[in-house]
């Protein structure tokens, strides 16, 4: 195996190791950053939902409650206001979902599914748990979930959810007397759940990874070409020329020209030493012939 082949083999082996390490590290950071960006989107959605809830509680509920004493109107329910608002958003962005599922909701449409029930139970089992971030397979692909507990900390909420007898007749007429009762103060009754698609963010991360690795491979090929040119002119060509001269001298050809490489590098020093050795050899042969 020639010097060029050994050099290229060593370079390719080193590149492949570095390429794999760089790809693994870069993939980790790109996926992490993509997931963090999706989590940030989910938190912005959650903040917007809470803003709608707070506005409804602060502005809408007192106004409607004052004008419709004793009547139940869905418009002043914070949960209904937030979910209805996001249904308008979901018309343009169907993969972005906001829900407030509960184990025992007033509105049957808000009843928690099995996996949503698991989230609520997890909040109930750990009072210090304030947020859950997880992933699941949605109909449109992989989705990131952000969940926060819904706790009954306002005694006013129990006016409509303690017993059917205490609830407004209009509420019973709309939803019946079997759902949404028996709530207790400071009890976690449901969760705010935001679902944001991961597929697009992960596809972008994968595209960036492929682009970067392609550029890295291109840079390596350019460097390899430059190094091979330098290797040829600085090392291989002088070494081949000195080898041919040495072979000719060994066959008794005394008229072979000397090779002198200009410069101060190791190959130039080798050529000087080689020529000195050849002249010493010629002098020794002349002495023997006398």
pLDDT at 118: 93
Average predicted confidence (pLDDT) for the chain: 83
Residues 186, 159 contacting (CB under 8 angstroms): no
Question: pLDDT tens digits, residue range 222-269?
Answer: 999 999 888 887 777 777 777 777 777 666 666 667 666 666 666 777
Rounded-to-integer distance, Cα 191 and Cα 196, Å = 16
State pTM to two decimals.
Answer: 0.73
Residues 198, 142 contacting (CB under 8 angstroms): yes
Choose between 257 and 213: higher pLDDT.
213
Residues 188, 150 contacting (CB under 8 angstroms): yes
Question: pLDDT tens digits, residue range 49-104?
Answer: 999 988 888 877 776 554 455 566 777 788 888 999 988 888 899 889 999 999 99
CA distances (Å), origin 256, targets 151, 252, 281: 98, 10, 13
Choose between 174 and 258: higher pLDDT.
174
pLDDT at 154: 81
Three-class secondary structure assignment of the chain? CCHHHHHHHHHHHHHHHHHHHHHHHHHHHHHHHHHHHHHHHHHHHHHHHHHHHHHHHHHHHHHHHHHCCCCCCHHHCHHHHHHHHHHHHHHHCCCCEEECCECCCCCHHHECCHHHHHHHHHHHHCCCCCCEEEEEEECCEEEEEEEEEEECCCHHHHHHHCCCCCCCHHHHHHHCCCCCCCCCCCCEEEEEEEEEECHHHHHHHHHHHHHHHHHHHHHHHHHHHHHHHHHHHHHHHHHHHHHHHHHHHHCCCCCCCCCCCCCCCHHHHHHHHHHHHHHHHHHHHHHHHC
Percent of the chain with pLDDT over 90: 38
pLDDT at 26: 93
pLDDT at 66: 44
Percent of the chain with pLDDT over 70: 84
pLDDT at 146: 95
What are the boundaries of each domain within the chain?
Answer: 12-199, 206-289
Please state which of the four CATH numbers 3.40.50.620, 1.10.8.500, 1.20.58.760, 1.10.1040.10 is assigned to the domain occupying 206-289: 1.10.8.500
């Amino acid at each position: 195996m020639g010097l060029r082949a050994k050099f290229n083999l060593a370079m390719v082996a080193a590149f492949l190791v570095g390429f794999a390490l760089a790809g693994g590290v870069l993939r980790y950071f790109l996926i992490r950053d993509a997931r963090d960006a999706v989590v940030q989107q989910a938190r912005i959605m959650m903040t917007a939902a809470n803003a709608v809830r707070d506005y409804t509680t602060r502005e809408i509920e007192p106004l409607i409650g004052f004008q419709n004493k004793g009547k139940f109107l869905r418009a002043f329910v914070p949960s209904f206001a937030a979910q209805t608002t996001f249904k308008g958003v979901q018309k343009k962005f169907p993969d972005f979902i906001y829900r407030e599922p509960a184990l025992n909701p007033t509105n049957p449409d808000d009843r928690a599914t099995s996996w949503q029930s698991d989230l609520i139970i997890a909040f109930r089992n750990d009072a210090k748990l304030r947020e859950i971030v997880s992933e699941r397979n949605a109909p449109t692909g992989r989705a990131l979930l952000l969940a926060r507990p819904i706790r009954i900390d306002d005694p006013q909420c129990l006016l409509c959810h303690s017993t059917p007898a205490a609830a407004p007749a209009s509420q019973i007429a709309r939803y019946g007397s079997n759902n949404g009762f028996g709530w207790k103060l400071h009890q976690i009754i449901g969760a705010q759940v935001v679902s944001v698609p991961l597929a697009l963010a992960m596809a972008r991360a994968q595209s960036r990874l492929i682009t970067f690795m392609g550029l890295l491979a291109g840079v390596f090929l350019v460097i390899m070409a430059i190094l091979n040119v330098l290797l040829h002119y600085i090392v291989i060509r002088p070494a081949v020329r000195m080898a041919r001269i040495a072979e000719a001298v060994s066959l008794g050809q005394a008229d072979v020209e000397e090779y002198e490489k200009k410069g101060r590098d190791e190959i130039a020093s080798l050529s000087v030493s080689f020529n000195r050795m050849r002249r010493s050899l010629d002098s020794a042969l002349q002495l023997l012939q006398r």
